[in-house]
Amino acid sequence: MNPFSSGTRLRDMIRAIRACKTAAEERAVVRKECAAIRASINENDHDYRHRNLAKLMFIHMLGYPTHFGQMECLKLIASAGFPEKRIGYLGLMLLLDERQEVLMLVTNSLKQDLNHTNQYIVGLALCALGNICSAEMARDLAPEVERLLQFRDPNIRKKAALCSIRIIRKVPELAENFINPAATLLKEKHHGVLITGVQLCTDLCKVSEEALEYFRKKCTEGLVKTLKDVVNSPYAPEYDIAGIADPFLHIRLLKLLRVLGQGDADASECMNDILAQVATKTESNKNAGNAILYECVETIMSIEDSGGLRVLAINILGRFLSNRDNNIRYVALNMLMKAITVDAQAVQRHRATILECVKDSDASIRKRALELVYVLVNESNVKPLTKELIDYLEVSDEEFKGDLTAKICSIVTKFSPEKIWYIDQMLKVLSEAGNFVKDEVWHTLIVVISNASDLHGYTVRALYRAFQLSAEQESLVRVAIWCIGEYGDMLVNNVGMLDIEDPITVTESDAVDVIEVAIKHHTSDLTTKSMGLIALLKLSSRFPSCSERIKDIVVQYKGSLVLELQQRSIELNSIIAKHQNIRSTLVERMPVLDEATFIGKKAGSMQSTVSSPVGASINLPNGVAKPSAAPLVDLLDLGSDDVPAPSSSGGDLLHDLLGVDLAPASKQSGVNHSPNNNGTDVLLDLLSIGSPTQSSSSLPDMLSSSQGNKTPVSPLGLAAPSSNSIQATSSAGAAPVIDLLDGFAASTPKHENNGTAYPSVVAFESSNLRMVFNFSKQPGNPQTTVIEATFTNLSANVYSDFIFQAAVPKFLQLHLEPASSNTLPASGNGSVTQTLRVTNSQHGKKSLVMRIRIAYKMNNKDVLEEGQISKFPPGL
């Protein structure tokens, strides 16, 4: 009885499922069916076994779990009849995979069936084995399969060949057993056996060097002859596709020849003629012919050099590229990508066509072409290519702009011959697709602009013009704001005019207009607005005549619902209104941003906006006794970081609160004048005048302007505490370049909750060596602590081959970054720093603990120091 012809219940189920209008209905039907099948399985109902399985297959296809049917498959396979076995094996292949234990049980049935007298049953078993064989089964059943490679019926031989592929992939050691039988298969005439035999040989070559050598020596000629026969074979209706006899076999043969010819001149020589014949004689007006040509080209490109053939291949690609069938063009682009390593010049010749393909309406083709253009770019053609791409940017699809801008930016950065060109191109990209570029792109641009001191004037004027035309491109706007803030005076005074520029007249109020428009634009986000406010502050000093107007704009944000803007507005307003005398110093032009630092940071982690490279300036003896209180303390008063108060943090808090509320001027300023004053760091940072060097060292100078007058400092001290940037800088203020307000870090309001400053500790000290740990946390990731280890040599000898190692218990994860150097100068004349990242999976429950080992050479003698560190500050 065959359930598919007699029973209607499978059909009924399919109909029922098809009739379902909603997913819920479908689920209900499937659930009911599954329940019925389970019941039937439990009753051990023989008659409905394969019908049940057929249903399960359908249910499985719909994406429902069917694991309960697995045992049924095994039972069906074990039964005697062919129809049962057939459905059983099919179920096995669909419902099970090699990782399931159930599969172990089937090995025995498979073995029996492989030895069955009925060749169709043998075929079933081979097919199943070929699809799901695991390594263990491969070992058990390899002898059977090997024997079947010589079976009388070709239909069994071909299946045995593919089964062998699975076996040698699972257990490569078995490969040698198959080399000889595989070579015999290559002599067959039956197409099915031949194609699978060729496939088996190809796979053998992949897993075994020995097989590759063997086939190269013994079979290359035979294969060439076989290919010749297939190419010249008379019309065979059963294999004919578009006038070509069995293109699939062609392709498999060409693939194997490619493997054999690669890296072997003799074998390559041997196949030259036939490849030339295939390349010239194959009809290219049908897909089948093109498939063969495509494969042939790839083989020609991969085997050892033969000039004539390569020319032929490149010509075929040229023809493909100009074909109007998109499929053909797609494969041509694909192939050119590979050809570029072989013959870059030849590919360059097709540059114009490839560029056309970048503008194709088909996304797949565009993607391929763009990648190809990307590798085609070099110093000599970067300018025209970039121009083409940027021109296209104007008209390209929205969804393609992301990819396209990323590639253009990458090309421009990589091959830029000069800074002015770089800046020009980037401005064009930003004007066209500024909303599609990643943050790094405009960050990099700002760094470059900052470094090109002779182009400041030019750039700011170009940005001013670009802004007039493309004010909706966010990242362009940001760069423009930043530059106008920094170099606004150059814009107004036409400083550094280049010959190529048209002079423009921009008044001070025009410049302020730009920023006002940007801030008020409805699409501007928080970062843009914050940057705008800072720029306004800078302009207020550069353009005294606009000071009042700027103040008015700033004041409007006093009531902003966004805390960040509100704070910023109040702070800046107080600077503008009350501190004329220090303002100009505060808003001085940013020092040149260090390209190396920026690139290093980019390579490190884009997320960690504040990773303090040096910790010398933080010396915070309090404030973290109670971790929960710490952020609050930070927010309330930076004084808490500075006052050396050994009392509990509760007391500090009170003290700080008082400090803020009452603002005793003398006390505050006194504090602020203490040498390692972190709070002022924050302030300096906030105002973007931090220098890239240690801010603590430059502090006294910066403050000298207000030395004589104590009052101005204290309200500043008041303004700063509420700033979000405290945490950003509290861990040293050593990354002023990257500070929030300079526009390099997205000003995520999240910052304020995570930043807690931890005191640095002398983690290890011996007579020769001192190791200091400084701690910081990445915002939003309280589990991870970034530890900056600073090593100082206390002896009079230089240490070489300096290696620091650390081990942590299981609940911690440690990541060590490379040390800054492996040589430690003598007598503390310098230090080595190394960053450690520790992730505490038991954050809040267990504190950090670490075992360390330091090895170095002193006077060519190996020294080893070890120790355990458990005195980490709590809360890490």
Binding to another protein (CB under 8 A) within 163-182 occurs at: 163, 165-166
- How would DSSP label each residue in 106-175? HHHHHHHHHT-SSHHHHHHHHHHHHHH--HHHHHHHHHHHHHHTT-SSHHHHHHHHHHHHHHHHH-GGGH
Q: Please identify, using beta-carbon distances, which residue of 79 and 364 lies nearer to another protein.
A: 364
Burial (CB count within 10 angstroms: exposed 0-12, middle 13-18, buried 19+), residue 676: middle
- Phi first, then psi, for residue 492 (nearest 5°) are -75, -40
- CB 360 → another protein: shortest distance, Å? 9
Strands 769-778, 240-241: pairing is unpaired
CB neighbourhood size of 378 (10 A): 12
Q: Report CA-CA distances (Å) from 278 to 264, 385, 422, 593, 735.
A: 21, 36, 48, 60, 64
Cα torsion 290, 296, 301, 307: sign: negative
Which 327-346 positions form the footprint of another protein (CB under 8 A)?
327-331, 334
Q: Please identify, using beta-carbon distances, which residue of 181 and 247 lies nearer to another protein.
A: 247
Which stretch of DSSP H or E encloses residue 726? helix 725-730
Residue 86 sits in the site that holds another protein (CB under 8 A): yes
- CB 88 → another protein: shortest distance, Å? 11
Q: Report CA-CA distances (Å) from 317 to 294, 296, 625.
A: 8, 11, 71
Cα–Cα distance between 162 and 167 in angstroms, integer?
9
Which 649-678 positions form the footprint of another protein (CB under 8 A)?
none
Which 223-262 positions form the footprint of another protein (CB under 8 A)?
238-239, 241, 246-249, 251-252
Residue 59 sits in the site that holds another protein (CB under 8 A): no
Residue 195 sits in the site that holds another protein (CB under 8 A): yes
Listing from the earlier edge strand, what are the strands of the sheet with 761-765?
761-765, 769-778, 781-793, 831-840, 812-816
Nearest to 437 by CA among 466, 472, 408, 464: 408
Q: Please identify, using beta-carbon distances, which residue of 37 and 460 lies nearer to another protein.
A: 37
Tokens 């929030």 correspond to what residue? 740
Q: Please identify, using beta-carbon distances, which residue of 255 and 777 lies nearer to another protein.
A: 255
State which of residues 40, 52, 70, 196 lies at the interface with another protein (CB under 8 A).
196
Q: Please identify, using beta-carbon distances, which residue of 400 and 442 lies nearer to another protein.
A: 400
- CB 675 → another protein: shortest distance, Å? 57
Cα–Cα distance between 770 and 279 in angstroms, integer?
72
- CB 324 → another protein: shortest distance, Å? 7
Cα–Cα distance between 802 and 812 in angstroms, integer?
25
Q: Please identify, using beta-carbon distances, which residue of 396 and 774 lies nearer to another protein.
A: 396
Which 365-404 positions form the footprint of another protein (CB under 8 A)?
365, 367
Inter-residue contact 530 to 564 (CB < 8 Å): yes
- CB 216 → another protein: shortest distance, Å? 21
- CB 2 → another protein: shortest distance, Å? 5
Residue 326 sits in the site that holds another protein (CB under 8 A): yes
Burial (CB count within 10 angstroms: exposed 0-12, middle 13-18, buried 19+), residue 152: exposed
CB neighbourhood size of 861 (10 A): 8
Q: Please identify, using beta-carbon distances, which residue of 51 and 443 lies nearer to another protein.
A: 51
Which 805-864 positions form the footprint of another protein (CB under 8 A)?
none
Site string (99-118) toward another protein, x via CB under 8 A: x-------------------
Q: Taking contact as CB under 8 A, which single stretch among the options 309-317, 318-326, 400-408, 689-697 is the one that binds another protein?
A: 318-326
- CB 200 → another protein: shortest distance, Å? 9
Q: Report CA-CA distances (Å) from 770 to 649, 676, 757, 876.
A: 29, 21, 22, 22
Q: Taking contact as CB under 8 A, which single stretch among the options 84-92, 216-224, 264-272, 517-525 is the one that binds another protein?
A: 84-92
Q: Please identify, using beta-carbon distances, which residue of 98 and 176 lies nearer to another protein.
A: 98
Q: Taking contact as CB under 8 A, which single stretch among the options 63-71, 484-492, 508-516, 795-803 is the one that binds another protein?
A: 63-71
State which of residues 7, 83, 496, 692 lies at the interface with another protein (CB under 8 A).
83
- CB 349 → another protein: shortest distance, Å? 23
Site string (521-550) toward another protein, x via CB under 8 A: ------------------------------
Burial (CB count within 10 angstroms: exposed 0-12, middle 13-18, buried 19+), residue 280: exposed
- CB 290 → another protein: shortest distance, Å? 5
State which of residues 325, 418, 472, 765 lies at the interface with another protein (CB under 8 A).
325
Inter-residue contact 607 to 778 (CB < 8 Å): yes
- CB 635 → another protein: shortest distance, Å? 43
How many residues are listed for the chain in this entry? 876
Q: What is the residue type of 421?
A: W
Site string (129-168) toward another protein, x via CB under 8 A: -xx-----------------------x--xx--xx-xx--
Which 412-451 positions form the footprint of another protein (CB under 8 A)?
none
Cα–Cα distance between 534 and 568 in angstroms, integer?
8
Q: Please identify, using beta-carbon distances, which residue of 7 and 692 lies nearer to another protein.
A: 7
Which 29-58 positions form the footprint of another protein (CB under 8 A)?
54, 57-58
Which stretch of DSSP H or E encloses residue 813? strand 812-816
Which 265-294 positions form the footprint of another protein (CB under 8 A)?
286-288, 290-291, 294
How many residues lie near another protein (CB under 8 A)?
73
Angle at which helix 23-42 crosses helix 9-19, to 10 degrees, equals 160
- CB 329 → another protein: shortest distance, Å? 7
